[in-house]
Structure 1
């Protein structure tokens, strides 16, 4: 467990933060003039982008030599999508003060896809530069 947390500790902490934010009662935030209509969707996208990048970073650091294959990208994407779906199910069944929304899950998936694309592009660019 210790080697896992050595590399994936930041991702686990961020996932717990995402779970806390998605479970919190934020009904009064919708009425605040500081936030615009799509702020919730943008937040979901950003939270999952960050979580997926941290997860990818942990996987890259864990490998010797450092690398990120397509298979690993699919596994990370599947784990992120599962986590997003789990949050929506929890909001529907347990956190009844929150509402489950398919659009939130779509934004979770979109943020995760953007993160995997960015990581794969960065890893490819670094490998290309070394040649």
Structure 2
């Protein structure tokens, strides 16, 4: 376990940061965002984008590869989706001042998939450039 966590410590810290943000009570009237309608969904998407990039970077370091393999990408997607669902369940059951929302889970999933896709594209572009050299 200690050997595995050394690759994922930035991911774990970011996951705790997300959990902290999602547990803070906020006082926004229903249907209104902080800056605009849907800002909350954009924040969820961005937080999970960063989480997925950190998680993929940890996977690349752990498995000593230059890119993530498809099975690692699928596993990472399942873990990120599960974490997003866990947070939404906590918001609906434990953090009663917050509300669990399917749209938040959708935004989490989209952000996570965007991050994994960004890592795949970036790592393949770097590998393609290295092959030409």
Cα distance change on mapping 1:33 and 1:123 into 2, 3 Å: closer
Q: Which residue of 2 aligns with 1:105?
A: 105
Q: Distance in 1 between matches of 2:40 and 2:67?
A: 34
**Residue 10 (str. 1) matches residue 10 (str. 2):** yes
Scaled by the length of structure 2, the TM-score of the pair is 0.90
Q: Does 1:95 align with 2:87?
A: no
- Counterpart in the other structure of 1:125: 125
How far apart are 1:34 and its partner, in Å? 5.7
Equivalent pairs counted in the alignment come to 131
Query: How far 1:64 moved relative to its partner?
Result: 2.4
5+ long unaligned stretches in structure 1: none
- The runs of 4+ residues in structure 1 deviating greater than 6 Å are none
2:84 corresponds to: 84
- Name the CA distance, whole Å, in 2 between partners of 1:12 and 1:101: 23
Structure 2 gaps of 5+ residues are none
**Aligned alpha-carbon RMSD (Å):** 2.0
Residue number in structure 2 paired with 1:50: 50
8 A Cα contact 2:41 2:103, kept in partner: yes
Question: What is the Cα deviation at residue 116 of structure 1?
Answer: 0.6
C-alpha distance in structure 2 between counterparts of 1:16 and 1:122, whole Å: 26
- Residue 112 of structure 1: CA displacement? 0.4
TM-score normalized by the length of structure 1: 0.92
